[in-house]
Amino acid sequence: MTNAAHTMFADDLASNALGIELVEAAEGHAVATMRITETMVNGHDIAHGGYVFLLADTTFACACNSHGPVTVASGAEISFVAAGKLGDHLIATATERTRYGRNGIYDVTVHRETPDGPEVVAEFRGRSRTIQKA
């Protein structure tokens, strides 16, 4: 099903250039994935935090734009829980916590699959602001 999030993501050159894939987007929810490539690894041989943040931010944007009106970030923070590694296939899941007036709060968990199950890489909280009426 195509919604405003899919339309927005199709025009997101930055996310698409990094190989981010939008797996799912529905009312207040989104899932996106990204593989960590050689150009995303820093001098410590781990995923650069900026790329992990970008994946989470893209997924957040898809979730908050799933309602239709143009919505942007008014702020965000991330906690890095585990280091991403070259070749990791990261999965970000965004969930709407609340919307009030033109504002919203969304949580995004970024994880990777391991033989022992999912391992959380980062937790992200984004605050949104609708700038256009539906």
Find the CATH number of the domain harbouring 113. Answer: 3.10.129.10
Amino acid identity at 80:
F
> Contact at 8 Å (CB) between 119 and 91?
no
Q: How far apart are CA 71 and CA 119, in angstroms?
A: 30
Give me the pLDDT at residue 1, please: 45
Per-residue pLDDT tens, the chain, 134 aa: give them.
Answer: 458 899 999 999 999 999 999 999 999 999 999 999 999 999 999 999 999 999 999 999 999 999 988 999 999 999 999 999 999 999 999 999 999 999 999 999 999 999 999 999 999 999 999 997 65
Please state the domain count of the chain. 1
